[in-house]
Amino acid sequence: MTDIQTAAQLPPIDDAAPQGAKRRHAGAQRPARPPRVPVHGVLLLDKPVGLSSNDALVRAKRMLNAPKAGHTGTLDPFATGLLPLCFGEATKFSQDLLEADKTYEAVVHLGITTDTGDTEGQVTAQQPVQCTVEQIEQVLAQFRGPISQVPPMHSALKRDGRPLYEYARAGITLEREARDVTIHHLELLAFAPPMLSIRVTCSKGTYIRVLGEDIGAALGCGAHLNALRRTGAGSLTLQGAVTLEQLEQAGEVADRRALLLPVDGLLQSFAAVHLTDELARRFLQGQRLALGKESVALPPEPGRVRVYRASDLALLGTALLQPYDVLAPERLVSTA
């Protein structure tokens, strides 16, 4: 009786088709994923709140059907704003933007400190806010120019191969050396107690969370970062930036790719050098070029330059213009 009941509970077997064939047939019904086609350029993404930079990159990469991509500087999940994404050959120049100055607009919540220095952490202390605009301006003046910052424990900096935030989550606090950074511009935008709005342009490696905490400490009430929006990176701004929703709504992959800046969108701060076809050929072979006697217009000072082929304005890469008008190839574009 038990055997009959057990057999009756089994799903029916279709003897006309072997089980392996049925599985193959079921798999064949799935739509084939289109092959990834190389795409080269820069997407100015306006990252939303609540999404990590890597998650934003993965979504954009999928919507553009791109095989190779990278971003140019992490934004915390609670932060929004400019996140330049590099695709294809543009990834060769992403380091330039990592080294560039950044501009942010931040809201500092005075009177409350958290264990992470931002709104995602647990409150650790509360104090009354009793400061004036004049006192705030005096404190902000202390942070303009070269300053030292102690990196936060809740950061991606590594110690013994592990990011600091892993130690912090385990309740471990490690000693961290102060780092020198530069605050090029620090402006008070608004003060509506307990919220303090500022605009900051700073060098690579600056933690705006730490800046907010240090401003609060200098005011005697403590603080944490309530909101953060990046508005500039190097020469790039939010002008022309798109959201993930706008990218998705652009339509087909070709229409989405039309939203990308060309590869040299990352290099506009460098002077341009245009080479003849023969010089361009030698440059792409990695040869150093002595241009002193060539009919090539050169910038007045040595330094990094972006290099083009004059006949079709194709970007060839970047180079170092050295003394005596010697052009030394640095990073070359394989699609030139």
- From residue 103, how far is each of 3, 201, 279 by CA, in Å? 74, 4, 38
pLDDT at position 2 over 90: no
Peptide bond into 194 cis (omega under 30): yes
Quick one: what percent of the chain has pLDDT higher than 70? 90
**For the chain, what is the mean pLDDT?**
89
Catalytic residue selected from 15, 46, 55, 76 = 76
Collect all residues with Cβ–Cβ distance below 8 Å to 143 and sequence separation of at least 6: 183, 186, 211, 214, 215
CB 42 within 8 A of CB 97: no
Active site residue 76: yes
Collect all residues with Cβ–Cβ distance below 8 Å to 210 and sequence separation of at least 6: 117, 149, 150, 151, 152
- For 252: left if phi > 0, alpha if psi spans -120 to 50, otherwise beta; the answer is beta
Residue 85's pLDDT is 96
Residue 169's pLDDT is 86
Q: pLDDT tens digits for 53-91?
A: 999 999 999 999 999 999 888 898 999 999 999 999 999
Count CA within 13 A, CB hemisphere, residue 111: 10
Residue 30's pLDDT is 60
Collect all residues with Cβ–Cβ distance below 8 Å to 86 and sequence separation of at least 6: 42, 69, 70, 71, 72, 93, 94, 266
Neighbours of 198 (CB within 10 A): 23
Report residue 21's pLDDT band, with 50, 70 and 90 as the boundaries.
Answer: very low
Question: Rounded to two decimals, what is the model's pTM?
Answer: 0.84
Collect all residues with Cβ–Cβ distance below 8 Å to 209 and sequence separation of at least 6: 76, 116, 117, 118, 152, 224, 225, 228
What type of residue is 57?
Answer: L
Residue 201's pLDDT is 98
Provide the β-strand partners of residue 191.
Answer: 196
Residue 148's pLDDT is 96
Residue 20's pLDDT is 46
Q: pLDDT tens digits for 149-176?
A: 998 888 778 888 888 888 888 888 888 8
pLDDT at position 9 over 70: no
pLDDT at position 277 over 70: yes
- From residue 215, how far is each of 108, 162, 175, 196, 259 by CA, in Å? 9, 29, 21, 10, 39
Q: pLDDT tens digits for 128-145?
A: 999 999 999 999 999 999
